[in-house]
Structure 1
Amino acid sequence: SRTGLAPVARLTATAERIAATRDARHRIELPAGPQAREDEVTRLAASFNAMLGELEESVTARRRLVADASHELRTPLTALRTNAELLARADRLTDAQRDRAAAALGRQLREVTTLVNDLIELARDEEPRPLVEQVRPAALLAHAVGAAREHWPEITFTSDVDQDATGLTVPGVPARLTRLLTNLLDNAAKFSPAGGPVDTELRLISGELHLTVRDHGPGIAAGDLPHVFDRFYRAEAARALPGSGLGLAMARQIARAHGAELTAEAAPGGGALFRLRIPAH
């Protein structure tokens, strides 16, 4: 009986060790070699190891998010404190210096607010189910392009919607899908030259809605392409531009929460192309 229950004892000991140390890197040693048997207890131990692997990955991702967030917040918070201390001595400043410090303080407050809101959104793993409804991607795209034209008047936005895709609906949270499209359009506008076009298309292809956003900027370097959706990742060409490096990470998270897939590729003739594939029901 003791020999037969030995794997259960190892499983229990591992669970107790993880509970005591909060370290999900521990694993249960599985029998190996030609004499190993695939019985119920072994399968249970293998499933427990798989669960521990998922737990470790989740914990690692959250720790990385906290570490990255603290790193990104440190600089704007230092700048906020500096300008606040400067305004505290406003009687020693000229009117121009006071106005410049106040404007910088307001700009930095907006940047920190946006960064914190983005972090809160990224910390959510799924969309709230009560807010899911049937939405028309064509209408969402038209709304997002209209808002982008107002926000980026120097950029020409074009929209080409396939007739077959006009009336199709998909389940989703309208505000979140609109945020996804807004992030893609803002990213494209940011890298487009003044007066340059940003092209959007919506097509029904093999039972999927393909929504593309294409700019005519410098494109994405081959070394940056695998990392464009990483949190806080900023390519060398983007480090001088405004933004926190969270927009595309948030866009992909929203896409996956809706059962869609967002990819990036080099556009023919130059520029970057982002493709959102949405299952059409």
Structure 2
Amino acid sequence: MPATARAQPRFGRLNVRQRLFVTTLGLLVLCAGALVSVVLWSFERFYLASAGADLGARTHAIAQTAGDLLEQGDLVRLRVLVERYGAPEDIALRVIAPDGRLLATSQHEPAENAIVWPAVPGMAEALAGRAVTGIAPGLIDVQDRIYHAVPIVRGDRQLGVVRMSRSLAQLQAHTRATVVTVLAALAVILVVGAGFVAWFARGLARPIQQMRDFAVALGRGEFGTRLAIARPDELGELAAELNRMAERLAALEGERRSFLANASHELRTPVSNLHVTLQALDGGAGDDPELRTRFVRTAVDETTRLRTLIQDLLDLGHLEAGATRLECVDTSLRAVLERATRAIEGRALDRRVSLVLDLDEELTVCIDPERIAQALLCVLDNALKFSPRGGVIEVVARRHGGRVEIVVRDQGPGIAAADRPHVFEQFYTADPARRRGGSGLGLAIARRIVDAHGGTIHVDTAPSRGAALVITLPLAASYQG
């Protein structure tokens, strides 16, 4: 198996903290290594350039004096000049005639007599009249040396060549010392950097690990836990948002539990009543025609109640899931209100409750007429349940800017201030006096239908008697102008 294939799973087993440490330390080593390489390369280039410039200046100065001595034919003084300026151990100074003969040298090595000087590096260029600088192995030893060769010219005559070279052993020693110093500094930097990277990785990975544990706890249903991460960065903002999400999940879980408990209770009541009624009929109550008729009516009523509750639960589920598709069209508001009031007119007459519809102008709204009629029927049904015999239910519609406001007002016992924020919740039972039949889902369904239309529904706090529910809906776009 290739090494990369084995390394990948091994790296994949590292946790976030270890990955941060390895990655950041690797980047630190890479950057430090690149910086050290550039520094050492720049140091070597600078030293070579400086050495070349110094060697060139000295060679040109010696070439001027050597030219004067060659014009005079004074080879003795030329050799003295060469020995004086070539005295340092790392310097080699020679003067070569145009025909390749060695005229003067600072080395005095027997091997110099066997050297073919025109073939020495730099000599061909200098004999051709060009000064040249370069690096080549030494002529006597194998050490690298930097050299500078200068032609000696007087007028149109070339009198010879001055070639001075200097050993690079000192440069190489300085380079080695510099490398050792820089590597030691790099090691210190890496040790300190590794400590800083470890601290940084631990500080960055800790909140991530806490969030992971927090998410696992939420997955187990532990909605009471909270993250204690206070940071002024994105991780702090994420932790705060996760805490808010946990609060919302806890609230939703509470609503779910309450809904299931209430739904179970509401379903159990008609089923129990129906079961008792059927048991009574099976036990002989059906032999009495009057009793049989009453029990059958009770069974029909409980079946109707159960069917209504189930339908309301289905409608509410579809609305909350967003599965209900609205078919909004420009619709006459009067037609929808009249349709909703006609639907409860029979029950209102039975209770001697009057229905009053008040529209001061013809209004057109952009709605799904079926759904808005359902919402209005839920609100009217709620008003009818709490209206006294001989009472009045008013339905008033008025235009307010680009919206229409519909107020349904009854003359019942009203809604307590503490209960008003909760009347649109499912199965709300804070005030048992207002639970007079029905599924307890009507206002919850009405609110979701109105919300889906971009409208609002709330309890009006102004009436001193009875309850008033206010629905606002957008007018049709063509009607707003």
Normalization by structure 1: what TM-score? 0.84
Higher relative contact order (CA 8 A, sep 6+): 1
Whether 1:99 aligns to 2:297 is: no
Gaps of 5+ in 1: 32-36
Q: SS in structure 1 opposite 2:357? A: strand
> Given that residues 312 and 439 in structure 2 are in contact (C-alpha distance below 8 angstroms), is that contact kept between their aligned partners in structure 1?
no
Deviation at 1:176, TM superposition (A): 2.1
Partner of 1:214: 409
Partner of 1:23: 222
> Given that residues 214 and 267 in structure 1 are in contact (C-alpha distance below 8 angstroms), is that contact kept between their aligned partners in structure 2?
no
> Given that residues 125 and 257 in structure 1 are in contact (C-alpha distance below 8 angstroms), is that contact kept between their aligned partners in structure 2?
no
Percent of aligned positions that are identical = 34
Partner of 1:39: 233
Whether 1:148 aligns to 2:344 is: yes
**191, 201, 217: which one pairs with 2:386?**
191
Partner of 2:206: 6
Partner of 2:82: none
> Given that residues 202 and 209 in structure 1 are in contact (C-alpha distance below 8 angstroms), is that contact kept between their aligned partners in structure 2?
yes
Moved more, 229-238 or 54-63: 229-238
Moved more, 208-217 or 243-252: 243-252
Whether 1:259 aligns to 2:458 is: no
> Given that residues 203 and 210 in structure 1 are in contact (C-alpha distance below 8 angstroms), is that contact kept between their aligned partners in structure 2?
yes
C-alpha distance in structure 2 between counterparts of 1:158 and 1:92, whole Å: 44
C-alpha distance in structure 1 between counterparts of 2:286 and 2:396, whole Å: 56
Whether 1:138 aligns to 2:334 is: yes
C-alpha distance in structure 2 between counterparts of 1:195 and 1:96, whole Å: 31
CA 1:181–1:49 in 2, change beyond 3 Å: closer, same or farther? same
How large is the RMSD of aligned CA atoms in angstroms? 2.5
Partner of 1:203: 398
Task: Give a deviation string over 1:133-162, Cα, whole Å, max 9, x none.
Answer: 124333311211222224422332121123
C-alpha distance in structure 1 between counterparts of 2:240 and 2:217, whole Å: 17
Q: SS in structure 1 opposite 2:227? A: coil
Partner of 2:283: 89
Normalization by structure 2: what TM-score? 0.51
> Given that residues 218 and 246 in structure 2 are in contact (C-alpha distance below 8 angstroms), is that contact kept between their aligned partners in structure 1?
no
Q: Aligned pairs, how many? A: 271
**Which structure carries more helix by proportion?**
2
Q: SS in structure 2 opposite 1:193? A: coil
Q: SS in structure 2 opposite 1:192? A: coil
2:232 partner amino acid: E
CA 1:128–1:167 in 2, change beyond 3 Å: closer, same or farther? farther
Task: Give a deviation string over 1:227-279, Cα, whole Å, max 9, x none.
Answer: 4333323534434x332332223222322232222122356463221111224
Deviation at 1:8, TM superposition (A): 1.1
CA 1:83–1:30 in 2, change beyond 3 Å: closer, same or farther? same
CA 1:220–1:92 in 2, change beyond 3 Å: closer, same or farther? closer
> Given that residues 155 and 197 in structure 1 are in contact (C-alpha distance below 8 angstroms), is that contact kept between their aligned partners in structure 2?
yes
Whether 1:168 aligns to 2:368 is: no
> Given that residues 126 and 257 in structure 1 are in contact (C-alpha distance below 8 angstroms), is that contact kept between their aligned partners in structure 2?
no
